[in-house]
Structure 1
Amino acid sequence: MRAYLALGSNLGDRLGQMQAALERLTLQPALKVVQVSPVYENRAVGMGEVDDFLNAIAAVDTSLEPLDLLDRCLMVESELGRVRSGQWAPRTIDLDVIAYGEAVIDHERLQLPHPRIEERDFVLHPLQALAPDLRIRGQRVADLAATLSMDALTLRSCELRLPSVD
């Protein structure tokens, strides 16, 4: 199954932590990172005076079920030192399952597609680079992204690499 994961960081070596997350995700044999979007920088909304976020999207092929994929993401966050101190707190790494194919899931731990994806420029614009024709609640990602300004996003010249597979 093709799934899409959002990566974000606004503490410490932001790009390094995002790269480490990609590397750790692929330690799970049932998961392979196949594409990574460009990296964007954006403001940290609702967090006061904190560093800006770097954000990207990774396309992964996986045989993990959606909740198992979520658990893998949470494990990687923990391994990389994420401390959950509140919903709107700075983070070393943030991994979110954004979409699992075009599946619609409404579980207490996971809602797919992500419930606020249509509002998030820092998710839709990088996702559009990987999957413009992916349908989110019946609409193409490219069409959803076209409704959101990129004024608050800065395309970074840095990039994330696909993890090496041994």
Structure 2
Amino acid sequence: MPESVLSFIGLGSNLDEPAEQVRSALVQLQALPRCRLVSHSNLYQSKPMGPADQPDYINAVAALETSLESFELLAELQAIETEHGRVRKECWGARTLDLDVLIYDELVIDTPQLTIPHPGLPQRAFVLYPLQELVAADFIVPGMGKLRDLLDECPFEGLSIYD
């Protein structure tokens, strides 16, 4: 079993009581084998990426200490999505739950199944701002630079704290 590492998970939902979907997923993250939920951000409301004819999203970021390998963690997250009724119909379409491995320790992975850090991270205020609640401003996103610099390039517009 590998030594524990810190991973950051993005959570999002815009269907079937989105705030409750995200809160339920946080509980399920805590219950994952070989994982410990360290902390999580506030919930944020954001406009959807992709098709505009869908409801706003509720998003959060969780810090998860885990000894699961990155691909094992991905499989566990996809199982939670399935339990929440996730159906993959269209890219960036409405969904009951979306769980993304944003950062996994200092690892950089680029495969068809998993890309870490999440490639859209620099353009996603709904990920960067919740992430900043959990780490220091000089936190280095592997292969992307300091979180502070990413935040400077990604305005807060269209985002609000939900709770």
Same fold (TM over 0.5): yes
Mean Cα displacement is larger for which, 93-102 or 129-138? 129-138
CA distance in 2, matches of 1:88, 1:56: 17
- From 139, 142, 155, give the equivalent of 1:149: 155
| Distance in structure 2 (CA, Å) of the matches to 1:140 and 1:150 | 17
Q: Tell me the amino acid that sits aligned with residue 105 of structure 2.
A: G
Residue 133 (str. 1) matches residue 138 (str. 2): yes
8 Å contact 1:9–1:94 — kept in the other structure? yes
Secondary structure (helix, strand or coil) at the match of 2:78 reads helix
Structure 1 runs of 4+ off > 6 angstroms?
Answer: none
What is the distance in 1 between the residues matched to 2:145 and 2:52?
Answer: 33
Q: Secondary structure at the match of 2:73?
A: helix
Paired letter, 1:122: F
Corresponding position of 2:77:
73
Q: Is the 1:104–1:113 Cα contact (8 Å) retained in structure 2?
A: yes
- Once the two structures are superposed, what CA deviation does each residue of 1:99-138 show, in whole Å capped at 9, x if it has no partner? 0012111222111111111111111111111123331225
Secondary structure of 1:143's match? Answer: helix
Alignment partners' CA distance in 2, 1:11 and 1:29: 27
Give aligned pairs, total: 157
Partner of 2:38: 34
SS at the partner of 1:7? strand
In the TM superposition, residue 42 of structure 1 has moved relative to its aligned partner by 0.7
- Is structure 2 residue 122 aligned with structure 1 residue 115? no
Tell me, yes or no, if the aligned pair for 1:102 and 1:134 is still in contact at 8 Å: no
TM-score after normalising by structure 1 = 0.90
Q: Confirm or deny: 8 A CA contact 1:7 1:57 kept in the other structure.
A: yes
C-alpha separation in 1, matches of 2:88 and 2:128: 25
Question: In the alignment, is residue 60 of structure 1 matched against residue 61 of structure 2?
Answer: no
Query: Secondary structure at 1:130's aligned position in 2?
Result: coil
CA contact (8 A) 1:7 1:56 kept: yes
TM-score, with structure 2 as normaliser: 0.91
Provide the aligned C-alpha RMSD in A: 1.2
Percentage of identical aligned residues? 38
Rounded to whole Å, the distance in 2 between the matches of 1:30 and 1:94 is: 21
In structure 1, runs of 5+ residues without a counterpart are: 159-166
Give unpaired runs (5+ residues) of structure 2. none
CA distance in 1, matches of 2:100, 2:55: 20
Q: Does 1:82 align with 2:80?
A: no
Structure 1 residue 5 corresponds to structure 2 residue 9: yes
